[in-house]
Amino acid sequence: MVEGLDHVQLACPRGGEDEARRFYGELLGLREIEKPEPLRSRGGVWFECGPSQQLHLGVEEPFSAARKAHPALLVDSPSALSDIAAKLSDVTWASDLPGYARFYVSDPFGNRLELLAHSVPPMR
């Protein structure tokens, strides 16, 4: 049986690791994690995303950004979501999902991302 989601992988062009670190690490606040030794030569960079999930950026040649398919990154509060949005350019806010504050943004490579936070406490 499927237990959950381990990681999501997005593509980046060769040499995009520093830009990925700036965007995902510095702007979004994700912690970089070390890639296993057998995979390091492929390039790319990995980030911790929550208690047991990861976001991987892998080199793809030829590179093609994901413009529709996207990961949705859950932020812990609407105020934290607004703080992140203030650091980014070209965010598109969406209000069509009840119970959430959310926006879309593209990473430096053109990959679409959704960031969202519960705007009302989630039902348990």
The pLDDT tens digits for 39-84 are 999 999 999 998 899 999 999 999 999 999 999 999 999 999 999 9
Percent of the chain residues topping a pLDDT of 70:
97
How would DSSP label each residue in 67-115?
Answer: SS---EEEPS-HHHHHHHHHHSSS-EEE--STTEEEEEEE-TTS-EEEE
Mean of per-residue pLDDT scores for the chain:
94
- Which domains, and CATH codes, for the chain? 7-118 (3.10.180.10)
| Average pLDDT of the segment spanning 98-109 | 96
Judge contact between 71 and 10, C-beta under 8 A.
yes
3 state SS of 39? helix
Residue 14 pLDDT greater than 90, yes or no: yes
49's tokens: 């995303």
pLDDT tier for residue 120 given thresholds of 50, 70 and 90: confident
